[in-house]
Amino acid sequence: MGLLELYFKIVKLPELDGVSGEVQDILVERIERGHHLVEIEDIAYALGMTKRTLQRRLNHEQEVFKEIRELVRLNFAVRLLAEEHLKIDEVADRVGYKDRTTVTQSFKRHLGASPRDVQKAVKGIY
């Protein structure tokens, strides 16, 4: 994957509408403020609904909470790797991944590259 292709794949979160967009916005705000252990119950409460209602509304929009949260974490992790001189373990901790292995698996699954490769590719982009 070339640098430009990788950049466009990770630079922006998908534009979500409806409750999915609201969930994404809350997740971005909370994760970036350091509340990285955000669960669906927290978001449902913030939106004034039950967990089950939120799940149904996301399902109606063909979205899944865990996937939205994963993409928000991944986007923030990429920005941290690009902007700051952090080790991958530090980035994993700041965005809510369990450990270096989990963040590496997420990067490979969604971006097709390791965090180190992504860090090299995006250094200075943000």
CATH architecture of 3-122: Orthogonal Bundle (1.10)
pLDDT band (50, 70, 90) for residue 21: very high
pLDDT band (50, 70, 90) for residue 2: low
What is the secondary structure of the chain as a DSSP string?
A: --HHHHHHHHSS-----HHHHHHHHHHHHHHHTT-----HHHHHHHTTS-HHHHHHHHHHTT--HHHHHHHHHHHHHHHHHHHS---HHHHHHHHT-SSHHHHHHHHHHHHSS-HHHHHHHHTTT-
Task: Please state the pTM of the whole predicted model.
Answer: 0.84
| pLDDT, tens only, 55-90 | 999 999 999 999 999 989 998 998 888 877 788 899
| pLDDT, tens only, 26-63 | 999 999 898 877 999 999 999 999 999 999 999 999 99
What residue segments make up the domains of the chain, in order of their start?
3-122
Alpha-carbon gap, residue 59 to 76, rounded angstroms:
25
Question: What type of residue is 96?
Answer: G
